[in-house]
Structure 1
Amino acid sequence: MKGKCFLSLLTWSLIVLLVLLEAPTGNGSNGRLENGEIKLTVRVPVRDGFPQFVKVVWDPSQQKYTASGYCMDVFNAAVTYLPFNVSLHLLPAAVESSYGFRFDQALQKQIPPKNEVVVGDVTILANRSNYADFTVPYTASGVKMVVPAKHGRDQNMWTFVKPFSWDLWLSIIIISTFIGLAILIMERNVNALPNQEGSPNQTKLGPATILLFPISQAILPEREVVVKGCSRFVLMVWLVLAFVLMQSYTANLTSILTLDQLQPSFLNVNDLRREGYYVGYQGGSFVYDVLIDRFKFDPSRLRPYNNTGEYHDALKLGSKNGGVAAIFDEVPYLKLYLQEYGSNYIMSGPEYRNAGFGFVFPLNSNLTAYFSRAILNVIESGLMNEIEEKYFGEDSSEETSSSEPLSLSFRSFAGLFIISGISTLLALLVSERFIWRRLILMAKALTEIMSAIHLFKKEARTHPIQDSTHGTEA
């Protein structure tokens, strides 16, 4: 009996120990649980620019710091989805100089092994994960460039072919040739038919003009040129197709000739690097390393800036007047910049991809998993969309691109081409049915001849011819 009681007591002790280990009350890096709450220190980087992401101010009435911005709203929303209560203590992260603050240095120096989290526009990078844990990203990111845009219309002597793509032009040539040949075959026996006055009509389609016949009929229809009903049916189908193509061509050509098109002044990074232009980046950002290691820029050609106003001033001056030719930064910052000054600038160039923004915890903190699940709940609940619209507008998720009209492709009219081709083929089969009958009769005659030859050979082998002179078989 005593053995059973001891075994039960040991079992309950193990269960309680497992529950304590699973609870987010950890030691050291996981904090302490007091009165059902976890005391969590929130470090927020203090920066000069981009207050839309994070902004820290001192509240004299409450004698404490308060933080606001996109990152803080996402963090506060994630806290509401945690399965336990959290007591937050805000602590700003000091900035040593205008451009000397680096998140890599801050994460290494300012996150001791205790229950703390860094909340801000911190990008998840592989080298940073060596000394800190990140939650799942709560926004997409990547490095691109913003360059001044050229307003106007890119017109030249070949502008008239731009409304249609090359595959559509080729398809029009093929269908015109096919319809022209079909009408030539159907009208080949029409030599001279009486016209309305009773005199013979000598109009006849020749091989030299048949390829241009469908196009000429679309522009200047001449109903008396074709006589047979099947030919007129094919011509009617072609005119419907030609009408749709002509209206689409006119509409797209009008857009190309009249709409204001936004074109980047520099199309790729190689142009900037080869010509030795100055380019800008966000001071203290890992973008500096990307420009040197990935895009191979000369460090002497890089200039740091703090906010969208400095970006605008630098781009307005240009590289030759003390400014820059392009600004490299992460996509969320560039979208924010284009929202303010987008009428004269455009996002362009290749993209250096990364995971995005995330919250930072000490290594091996079990709070990372809880906050990651909370971020997923915020995203799936639709609350993330409301937060993004609050700070970046309704179109914050869409990338800025050129407004140049696109050429229409064959795919846009594939159905009409198929209908025209099938209709022309059926009309040709109906019109030339006597040819198929003649071919069938010729095939039957050929079959009978082959059968007769085969039968003759068989009879010759069965009854050989006798030689009457010698009395032997020939």
Structure 2
Amino acid sequence: MDWETFTIVYEKHENLVYLQEVLQNAYEDESEIKPGHPPIIVRQLPPDTMDFRPLLKEIKNASESHILLDCAVDKIVTILKQAQEVNLMGNYQNYILTNLNAHTIDFGDFNPGEANITAVRMINPNSPTIRSIMNGWIYEGNEQGKALTVKAETVKIESALMYDAVYLYATALTALGESKPLPSKLSCENPSSWQHGLGIGNLVKSISAEGMTGKIKLDSLSGRRNSFSLEFVEWMSSKWKVLGTWSTSFGLNHSRTVEQMDKEYKEKIENRTFVVITKLVEPYLTLDKKTDTLLGYSRDLIDMIAQEYNFTYVLKLEPDNKLGNLNSVTGKWDGLIGSLQEQKADLAICDLTITSERRNAVDFTMPFMTLGISILYRKPQKESPDLFSFLEPLSFDVWVYMATAYLSVSLLLFFLARCTPYEWESQHPCDSEPEELENVLNLVNCLWFSLGSVLAQGCDILPKAVSTRLVAGMWWFFTLIMISSYTANLAAFLTTTRMNPPIKNVDELAKAAGIKYGCLEAGSTRNFFKNSNVSLYQRMNSAMESARPSVFVKTNKEGVDRVLREKGKYAFFMESTSIEYEVAKDCNLMQVGGLLDSKGYGIAMPFNSPHRAIVSGAVLKFQESGRLRDLKIKHWRPANQLQKCEVDGEEADNPELGIDNVGGVFVVLIAGCGVAFLFSLLEFLWNVRKVAVEEKISPYEAFMLELKFAISCHGTSKPVRRKCSEPSMKEANSFANLELFSSKLNINNGNN
């Protein structure tokens, strides 16, 4: 029967004598006794009254569903009728009638309802022996002119045992008479013992016979009956049906197979209406305001079970919308668990975690979903790239080293160019004997050459000596490696958005400063931290309890809203399945770390519910067929939300550079152009001053003259402005040539 607790209701104290074995077996293993749930409660029927309602009400208030009734057969129907009056004959009540005459009860117009009533009997009304004996009795009555209407179902155990005793003695006497002559008459007044008495006694112990109570066989030493069998019968469809048998030889034997019992149970619950209690929580159950209907995972799951077993159900919402908490003072539960304990509902289905504490109050099916506690956290916001993010591929130290190398190489090139004779050349290549040599690798040109190499733009000025070319070659090799490395890193830095959360697991969360964490103020997650023996979780529990303002919330929705609202300053401990749903619904959320524990959601029902086996079987069937997985995908991944997050992911895989990524380059360009314009302005003003001095005009006139020419935007040549007395370069060259010609002419005349 697998009863963990039950109540014995007895009539007389002597009844407890033969029930002592039951009491002893129940208390054999004290470790299995649940706190607050003694395995057996013993109650006596009130004597001298037929009103048993007060006692039955006490049993109902104790939420006891299993009753072992040991009383006279004529009181059984009265007790059951009064139990029905106090609502103790429902689907969850089970009665075992120990009276061996219980099979003779005539319930009449009384309908026990949905209660399970089991009895024990020694008489099998359908056995051939019983039928033969009944026919013999009827025949004898007819021979004597008495019309007997005897039914095997109404034969009491006392009559059957008396018949078997007489039948066994008669069988022994007949066997003795076949071996020895017996006197035809005996006097009961003769005090002397019968000479065959001892022989008959031994013969009774040695023979066996088939009587009304089955096979009759006595022990050869004690003379007690050592072979008998019992039938366990259940009242179903207005008649007793055999559940199984127990015999001294073979023990307990079920008469029906598991398939037969399942079939009978399915027939029993067909078209029956179950009361299913639940609570509103996404995605398990939500209210569609347009159609005023309840939708969600829980609704679909109970639909599947109802279709499997062909029953109907009524969905009720828990008024407080609570799973259930145990009141340590009253010892009673509230919420869904309390409703099940009071048998206001047949099933409870939602995000109800199977815990040992709840398991002591109600029954659970096998888990339909496995999960654990994890951390819900807001995704870090996408960081806008720094204005000068193009500098990030190389560290600050590397930039400093590169600038140092640039200056060092430029100075080295300048020094070597001055030292080597091969960098000094004539200003006029046609002059084979120049008076002056020129070196183009001055300091400015060396800096320009090195800069052009770094920027891969080249330069018109190139070294000629071996030493300077060697320095230039090594500098080109250096810039090749540095530019390649910079370019490779630049692509990654410009296209990758840094979104690393400040915490990666529960250990980092416990150590993180400035991040608060919390959970539901009541429930399995809260109890996990309260009852944990792990030092880390104990410290976290103390931190949560002492936090002000409170970090606890009443609902998961409040916790999710707080995570989003506080933008990285709050983390919420939540069951992983709920986190999966919230993350799929809002792409700004994420799960941090793994699972802190492992548990499961189950369908709850009143303690020792008869529906547990079939509902668990349905859950197992759906799990093996993959229907539970498909159901979870349906509700956990809404198409619109999944598509939105996938688009975000595609954008991350194929990023487009925005102005934030390359804005710094524009700043450098604008700043460089601005500096160039500033230098150009200074050069222009300096030239204006020079022209004003040389042309002996006012600065304003010179300014306007130069400005008009600059903004005319045509012509590529410009006249040189100088003092009036100063000859032009062309004239100077002409005079020089004329003097040279004259001198040569005079020399020739002298020679002549």
The TM-score normalised by the length of structure 2 is 0.33
Name the structure, 1 or 2, with higher relative contact order (CA <8 Å, separation 6+): 1
**Rg larger in 1 or in 2?**
2
